[in-house]
Amino acid sequence: MFLRYIVSRLLQTALVILGVVTISFFITNLVPADPARLIAGRLATAETVENIRSQLGLDRPLVEQYWRYLQRLFQGDLGRSYQQRTEVKTLLLSRLPATLQLSLGAIVFELLIGIPLGILAALEFGKFWDKAIMVLAFIGVSAPQFALGLILLYLFAYLWNMFPLGGYGSIHHLILPALTLGISGAGWYARMMRSSLLDVMNADYVRTGVAKGLGRSKVIFKHALRNAVLPVIAMIGLDIGLLMGGVVVVESVFAWPGIGQLAWQAIQIVDIPIIMGTVLLTAGFIVLGNLLADLLYPLADPRLRYG
């Protein structure tokens, strides 16, 4: 039962990835920009441009190019960058650690800020703090990350000298970009935590506990909270899409040498193999995150069976 569920889920995942490859391949290759001309430079002769075009296989029909891309992809070959001639795989792998570090930092902030606020809101349901926290959550979700990042930089790095102005390396460098990314997610987690805890607080066993005379706060903190937190944490997987989007912007603001920065640099010079590589990698993470959430959720809530 469980095995069958996993296999069908993996198959579905593979299909989704294939869809992403197909759509992004045709979108990036159908655009009017001419990569051969961009590589050759403005002063190159028509002959040089033509040479580059045939070298890269860009003179072939698009469907043939697509088929070749798929074949190589199956062998784990993502092609080479148009500009630097480096393998895309090498570039991605060299940037991956920085992005993983940033995302993990962001998740820590999301949970650290979101979960306690959500608990507080649920405990104060309908009262001032509940309403204040829910408005705060909307502010977090609605904050433009690039402006937030710049303002945090101005305050904490420039004015108060607490953190470096950007760059990568120590935990000191990580705090501000991770916080910038984490704030919008924190709003999301606060809302989820609140509604999850409210659900549990209305459950029969909590009412029984209170009726038995255990004391409301004891029931909530010893029994209800654990059951309410687990499903929320299992949702981290779903959050990865949101994180991966923000990474492009935040890495650009903080000069963070990760996948997002690589993608942004590639986009500016229409380096299609790198764009494809970053899109595929992030899509892979998103799909993996969803899969993880689907698998973890029933563990957190045993009433849900795999079906």
Partner 1 sequence: MTLIASTPSRPSTWRSLRRNPAAMFGLIVVLLVILIALFAPLLAPKNPAEQFFEGLTLEGSPLSPNQDFWLGTDLLGRDLLSRLIYGARISLLVGLIANGAALLIGTLLGSLAGYFGGALAKIIMRFTDIMMAFPALLLAIALSAILRPSLWIVAMVIALVNWVQVARVVYAQTLSLAESEFVTAANALGAGNGRIMFRHLFPHLLPTMLVYGTLGISTTVLLEATLSFLGVGVQPPTPSWGGIINESQSYFLTAPWLVFFPGSAILLTAVSFNLLGDGLREALDPKLRR
Pick the stretch among 39-47, 106-114, 219-227, 268-276 that binds partner 1 (CB under 8 A): 268-276
What's the number of CA atoms in the CB half-sphere (13 Å) around residue 136?
A: 16
CB burial of 121-151 (b: ≥16 within 10 Å; e: otherwise) equals: bbbeeeeeebeebbebbeebbebebeebbee
What's the number of CA atoms in the CB half-sphere (13 Å) around residue 48?
A: 9
CA end-to-end distance (rounded Å), the chain: 8
Q: Is 87 helix (H, G, I), strand (E, B) or coil?
A: strand
- Contact between 270 and partner 1 by CB under 8 A: the answer reads yes
Pick the stretch among 99-107, 111-119, 224-232, 261-269 that binds partner 1 (CB under 8 A): 261-269
- Contact between 244 and partner 1 by CB under 8 A: the answer reads yes
Identify the bridge partners of residue 12 per DSSP, sorted by sequence position: none
Pick the stretch among 55-63, 149-157, 205-213, 292-300 that binds partner 1 (CB under 8 A): 149-157
**Site for partner 1, residues 159 to 218, rule: CB under 8 A:** 195, 198
Q: Which is nearer to partner 1, 29 or 48 (CB)?
A: 29
DSSP 127: S
Using CB under 8 A as the criterion, what x/- string covers residues 47-86 for binding partner 1? ----------------------------------------
d(CA 41, CA 43): 6
Q: Which is nearer to partner 1, 75 or 268 (CB)?
A: 268
Q: Which is nearer to partner 1, 111 or 133 (CB)?
A: 133
Closest contact distance (angstroms) between CB of 239 and partner 1 is 13
Which tokens sit at 199? 């659900």
Contact by Cβ (8 Å): 24, 280: yes
Residues that bind partner 1 (CB under 8 A): 12, 15-17, 19-20, 23-24, 27-28, 31-33, 131, 134-135, 138-139, 141-148, 150-151, 153-154, 158, 195, 198, 241, 244-246, 248-249, 252, 263-264, 267-268, 270, 275, 278-279, 282-283, 286-287, 290
